[in-house]
Amino acid sequence: MKQDLVAGIDSSTQSCTVMLRSLENGKVIAQARKLHPPTTPPCSEQDPQAWWDALVSALTELKQWWPRIAGLAVGGQGHGLVMLDNHDRPLRPAKLWNDTESAPQARELCEKIAPEEWARLTGSVPGPAMTISKLAWTEQNYPGLLEKAHRIMLPFDYLVYRLSGSFVCERGGASGTGYFNPFTNSWEPQLAAVVNSQIDWISRWPTIIPSHQPAGVVKLMPELAGLAGAIVGVGTGDNMSAALGMNLKTGDTGISIGTSGTLYGITNKGITDSTGTINGYADAADRFIPMITTLNAAKVTDTFRKMLRVTPDEFDELALSSPPGANGLQLVPWLDGERTPNLPDATGHMRGLRTTTTMQDMARATVEGVLCGLLAGGLVLKQHGFTDDGRIIVTGGGAKSRAYRQILADLTGKPVWISPVGETAAAGAAIQAAAAVLGCTNIEMADRWSVPLEKVAGPQQDARHVLDAYVTYANALSGELQ
């Protein structure tokens, strides 16, 4: 049987999605999704075995297609710390990107090495999300455990290793660790030496290979015997993968509204920010993807929707029935602490409640708060030279919401677009898999499979003043809490 499909895998915080696409034209053939165990900050951890079990289960649901699968690749949640012993068993549950327990260690790292130096060498400044901070937390809370770690990797690297037996990574995902240099594409072991100077860090980290190259092939194992020999792409971070899935171009702004929120774009030159607001990541090609990340996105609207006891569609209708500014009601949505700004112990703040406040106002203020948190970061990106004269493209679960789409258009004064392929992180991973199979670059593959974007909202009301009011309120709160 002809091997004419590739599998793109999105192993996110919440679930594992497998998307099968035609190797010829990128058409989506089938999908499967399995949930991961729920987790909530400040202690947000998962057993790496759960990711593997979900991946195997999702692939097994698609078993009828296995003979046609030529390759696979994994786009996954970033930053998480996976440590394996010399028998490849996890030494403890993986601390995830949204775990904030390592906030004290992140501050200590910036006392030992100046933020300007972190930014110069890695494009980012340590915060609780970064892997380097989780290494420092582990060193302080489990003395001696790092010495027992035979391999240290990210969540998607772990799945690639389980699939292929190859201990490799690429620049996009690695740039979220806090000890990788995206400007030279090399590890910076002297940064990890601040955590423990006795460890040979390089020997514990994966080998770096180009983002479009194969990591190896699926090894023979009972649970995936029918896939043995299929090419395995090297994998990357979920936002880098989503950028491929949307075929993001220079000038475009990508906004992901999922468990977390991200706002990013593609640049040919890296951006550094010693304040830590911007993460100057590499993308899954030879470019850069400067990014703003918030801890609180769609889960905020989920929380208020449950409070209001309405369905998602009813919540959207409520939010769209209130005017811009929600009749004076404002929400700063730092429900689980926040990453941008770096306030891991913060809580949400709402002001402007009146006896005349309605459910509609509450819903509108919630959506505006989440979006303004991201757009405020976008203003910082522009201050560092990022050009946003292209399209606004949204992805993630929140991208399906009419309220998020329309209010984003109103807040920015620009049309909002989506990729009709959907599940953009899985779609991008499939592009990476196809590039590995066909021997081309990820950008060439993304262009080959490119489909026209769909315009889903245009500005109906001028709400740009709402962002200005949010920035003023949030900045004042941040100053009080820091």
Contact 118, 178 (CB under 8 A): yes
Is residue 159 within a helix (H) or strand (E), and if so which, with residue range?
Answer: helix 155-164
Q: How far apart are CA 212 and CA 18, in angstroms?
A: 19
Query: Around 224, how many Cα atoms within 13 Å sit in the side-chain half-sphere?
Result: 22
Nearest by Cα to 10 from 77, 96, 70: 77
Residue with tokens 């992805």: 395
Buried-exposed string 211-244: b where 16+ CB fall within 10 A, e elsewhere: bbebbbbbeeeeebeebeebbbbbbbbbbbbbbb
**Nearest Cα residue to 74 out of 230, 186, 204, 195:** 230
CB of 261 within 8 A of CB of 374?
A: yes
User: 207-208 and 168-169 as β-strands: parallel, antiparallel, unpaired?
Assistant: parallel
Structure tokens belonging to residue 260: 């977390």
3-class DSSP state of 132: helix
Q: Which residue has the tokens 């990788």?
A: 180
146, two tokens: 């790092």
Going by C-beta distance under 8 Å and a sequence separation of 6 or more, which residues neighbour residue 99?
41, 42, 43, 44, 45, 128, 129, 134
Cα 305 to Cα 326: distance, rounded to the nearest angstrom: 16
Contacts of 209 (CB under 8 A, 6+ apart): 168, 169, 170, 215, 234
User: What is the Cα–Cα distance from 213 to 435, expressed in whole angstroms?
Assistant: 8
Burial degree of 64 (CB within 10 A; 0-12, 13-18, 19+): exposed
The reply to whether 238 belongs to the active site is yes
Among candidate residues 215, 162, 214, the one with its CA nearest the CA of residue 56: 162
Q: How many CA atoms lie within 13 A of 197 on its CB side?
A: 1
Task: Tell me which of 238, 252, 316, 361 is the catalytic residue.
Answer: 238
- State how far the alpha carbon of 390 is from the alpha carbons of 338, 393, 417, 441, 463, in Å: 28, 9, 11, 23, 20
Instruction: Write the DSSP symbol of residue 228.
Output: T
**Catalytic residue set:** 238
